[in-house]
Structure 1
Amino acid sequence: MRPQAGESADSPFTFTINEVLAARDRERSLHVDAVSQTPSASAQVVTEERPVTSGSGEAGREPFGALSSRVPDGLLSRRWRALEAGIDDDRAVLQRCRADPSRCPANAAQFLRLVNAVRSKSGRERLEEANQGVNLAIRYVRDIVQYGEIDRWTPPLATFATTKGDCEDYAIAKYLALLEAGASPDELAIILGRDRDAGLDHAVLAASIEGQWYILDNRHAGLTSASAAVNFLPLISLNADGVHSLSASPGTLTPAVR
């Protein structure tokens, strides 16, 4: 990974899904080793390398009906918090634009028009508006082409300034658009996973309406219900509650996104 001029190698908005998945595999391996060396199941100790079972780790509480475990504070969590800070900065810009539209930057004004269009809809139509609006506003360009880096996560207004981005950037923009349109934070999650058909890492936004989770994908104008998807392996969930590792609940099929 090559940082741009003036940017550190540990840029808070730069990391790859492969890094995330490799870190999770290391955590699981260390967890297995720790359990095998623990004399008693009651003598469990939470460490940096060991996932912490979430209090909401019941099937159905996460997209895809997955069981979730909180990822302990570490590089991924810190980078997600840094990206959240960037999103918060964008929300402050949007608030100033509402107060004084005459001084609103063009990219923020465009994003506000999208938010207003999303807010004007309800139910599933609101998700469709967000999905299609962001998909049409951004042209898919790989980060290696745009930034000279393998992977960079960008706050939405910066993405709208360039009108370019990859799958994570689409998901992040949809996340903020729905938040600004009034969605509850616990109804949204950015999902990192693996498209097993294409053999590629992929990121989507999952959004819940009336208890039903839907997938907003940059590759499709329509929505896919999480329960009907079949070829996407969800691995990591990023949302207002932090970073969670996902695993299929007993007796369920591994879901996917086409």
Structure 2
Amino acid sequence: MRQEFGSDGLRELEDWLALLDRLQAAPRDAQLREINDFFNRRVRWLDDSRIWQQEDYWATPLETLGRGAGDCEDFTIAKYVSLRELEVPESMLRLIYVKARIGSSRITQAHMVLGYYTAPSDEPLVLDNLVTTIEPAGQRTDLAPLFSFNGSGLWAGGSSQSRADPVARLSRWRSVIDRMRRQGFIQGG
């Protein structure tokens, strides 16, 4: 981290690891709130073209913290990985692609949030970088789900039934998983 992002990047990594250590025994609601707040406070939203000189790049948590900037996918991936590090079961987490309505207009844009499910068919809580409070999906009338995924499945719309292997179907997800594996954050497949 120091070699790639200097002493500032190393400091961000140390703060993140200290947070993960502190939250190991914390109640689940505290884990969700503090992970959501950590990334929403520490990471500045910037477009991938400005950060990575690419149209769409999914960064690992180390890359996001090292740059101190990311877009919605980067916030979501960092929160997902953090909660997995806290041993939140993968079945309780999904990265959700949505259409987000901008303000009170009819204009929408593609956006990604993290959903926390107490059960696969339950309404998720939404962890987001646009609306920083964690709210049930039903209260987020500005979001329309398109599909969701995690390391185990890919779901269409609000379906609770997995349709496909996300690692095989989503090349950017496969790429970020490979980089996280090389960085030592995930094991195996």
TM-score calculated relative to the size of structure 1? 0.51
Is 1:161 aligned with 2:43? no
Is 1:233 aligned with 2:138? no
User: How big is each residue's C-alpha offset from its partner over 1:186-232, in whole Å with a ceiling of 9 and x where there is no partner?
Assistant: 00011111013441111100012475520000123311101322121
**Corresponding residue SS for 2:117:** strand
Kindly indicate whether structure 1 or structure 2 has the higher relative contact order, using CA contacts under 8 Å at least 6 residues apart.
1
User: 2 CA distance for matches of 1:151 and 1:238?
Assistant: 18
After the TM superposition, which residues 56-67 of structure 1 pair with which residues of structure 2 at under 5 Å, given as runs?
A: none
Preserved CA contact (<8 Å) 1:194 1:202: yes
Q: What is the one-letter code of the residue matched to 1:216?
A: L
**Aligned counterpart, 1:224:** 135
**Corresponding residue SS for 2:148:** strand
Calculate percent identity across the aligned residue pairs: 28
After the TM superposition, which residues 62-77 of structure 1 pair with which residues of structure 2 at under 5 Å, given as runs?
A: none
**Corresponding residue SS for 2:36:** helix
Change (3 A) 1:152 1:134: same
Q: How far is the alpha carbon of 1:240 from its aligned partner? A: 1.9
| 1:114 aligns with one of 19, 34, 37 | 19
Q: What is the one-letter code of the residue matched to 1:220?
A: V
Aligned length: 145
Q: Could you say which structure has the larger radius of gyration?
A: 1
Change (3 A) 1:122 1:163: same
Change (3 A) 1:221 1:163: same
Q: Which moved more, 1:152-161 or 1:237-246?
A: 237-246
TM-score calculated relative to the size of structure 2? 0.69
**Aligned counterpart, 1:181:** 86
**Corresponding residue SS for 1:227:** helix
Is 1:246 aligned with 2:157? yes
Q: What is the one-letter code of the residue matched to 2:76?
A: A
Is 1:206 aligned with 2:115? yes
User: 1 CA distance for matches of 2:32 and 2:74?
Assistant: 17
Q: Which moved more, 1:173-182 or 1:110-119?
A: 110-119
User: How big is each residue's C-alpha offset from its partner over 1:131-184, in whole Å with a ceiling of 9 and x where there is no partner?
Assistant: 101111211111111122221101111111111101110000000110111201
Unaligned runs of 5+ in 2: 1-9, 161-189
Q: How far is the alpha carbon of 1:107 from its aligned partner? A: 4.4
Q: How far is the alpha carbon of 1:120 from its aligned partner? A: 4.4
User: 2 CA distance for matches of 1:109 and 1:221?
Assistant: 23
| 2:99 aligns with one of 175, 187, 194 | 194
**Corresponding residue SS for 1:133:** helix
User: 1 CA distance for matches of 2:147 and 2:17?
Assistant: 29
After the TM superposition, which residues 10-49 of structure 1 pair with which residues of structure 2 at under 5 Å, given as runs?
A: none
Q: CA RMSD in A?
A: 2.1
Preserved CA contact (<8 Å) 1:212 1:225: yes
Change (3 A) 1:142 1:117: farther
User: 2 CA distance for matches of 1:129 and 1:247?
Assistant: 26
